[in-house]
Amino acid sequence: MGRTLIIRGKKVPSRSVGGVGFVVHPSIVHLVDSHEILSSRLGILQLHPPRQKTISIINCYSPTSAADDSELDAFYEDVEEVVRNEKSFHKFIVGDFNAKIEMPLENEYRIGKFGYGLRNENGNGLVGLLSAARLFHGNSIFMKTEHCRWTWESPNGTTHAEIEHILINRRWSLLDVSVVPFFCIGSDHRLLRAKVRFSRRLEKLEELISSCDWPIEEEPTYDYDRLLKGLRACGECASVTSEKNVERMSKTTKEMLERRRFLRQDPNATHLEQLITNASCSLEPAL
């Protein structure tokens, strides 16, 4: 087996915070297409498996909620720009967001129903990123026990929070998200693991759907009117009475065919009678 690829970025200048990177298993090092550390808080790793769509993994390290609003806003703007500019089919945004998002509020359909903790300021920024970059929150999609949810523990061991998150652009590609509870890494954080799938059939289906022109009206009333018009058109087509099938054979033809069948089964029928009947059956449709 080959060597592990380690990609490590630098911390924030003059501050002992930040720093992102990647550890690539030897079995997939050959799939690495490119990698780049954009800043002390953002890095990109792109994979290109054979006969598969490209995959981009974006690693993030957000400022804490104690940071200035301008610093938080700049971070989420940078993440959104990177996600939008990445052209890979599959996008996974992972890392320490220092964000707690709890249960989804009304119309927050990009968050699953299994949120954890109370939402903080960074959580509001993360929710805004989901909507702006058209992403889904992976952690909250799957129901887990509390022990398998928290990713950070306070020094005294009494406080726990889920501040590491996995975001994806295609919900169907995510099969599971959970922490690795008994893996010691010498940190107050725990590893967060995602199980994913890549399906050529689903990828092709999504490409076909996206190739269609789906007009979206700014005014919902227009969409409703279009729906009613379509339903009425379908109803009119369904109400049209279809014409009855026209008989393909006349009554006389049916009688001749019946007589021919009878003569074939009659041992006393002469050869001449059978010839006459066969000829009559052949001529009848043309009459």
Global pTM value:
0.71
pLDDT, residue 286, reads 47
Q: Calculate what percentage of the chain has a pLDDT beyond 90.
A: 47
Mean predicted confidence (pLDDT) in 227-237:
78
Q: Is a pLDDT exceeding 80 seen at residue 103?
A: yes
Q: What is the DSSP string of the chain?
A: --PPEEEE-PPPTTSS----EEEE-GGGGGGEEEEEEEETTEEEEEE--TTS--EEEEEEEPPPTTS-HHHHHHHHHHHHHHHHH---SEEEEEEE------S--TT-TTB-S---S---HHHHHHHHHHHHTT-EESGGGS---GGGT--EE-TTS--EE--EEEEES-GGGEEEEEE-TT---SSSB--EEEEE---HHHHHHHHHHHHS-----SSHHHHHHHHHHHHHHHHHHHHSPPPPPPPSS-HHHHHHHHHHHHHHH-TT--HHHHHHHHHHHHHGGG-
Q: Is a pLDDT exceeding 50 seen at residue 105?
A: yes
Looking up tokens 């929070």 gives 161
Q: Which domains does the chain have, with CATH numbers?
A: 5-202 (3.60.10.10), 251-286 (no CATH)
Mean predicted confidence (pLDDT) in 148-163:
90
For residue 255, give Cα distances in angstroms to 183, 229, 277.
88, 51, 11
Higher pLDDT: 80 or 243? It is 80
CB 46 within 8 A of CB 32: yes
pLDDT, residue 242, reads 61
CB atoms within 10 A of CB 176: 12
pLDDT, residue 217, reads 59
pLDDT, residue 43, reads 96
Q: Is a pLDDT exceeding 70 seen at residue 216?
A: no
Q: What is the mean pLDDT of the chain?
A: 85
Q: Calculate what percentage of the chain has a pLDDT beyond 70.
A: 85
CB 104 within 8 A of CB 115: yes
Listed range (56-65, 107-116, 254-263) with the worst mean pLDDT: 254-263
Q: Is a pLDDT exceeding 90 seen at residue 48?
A: yes
Band the pLDDT of 36: cuts 50, 70, 90.
Answer: very high
pLDDT, residue 131, reads 93
Q: Is a pLDDT exceeding 70 seen at residue 161?
A: yes
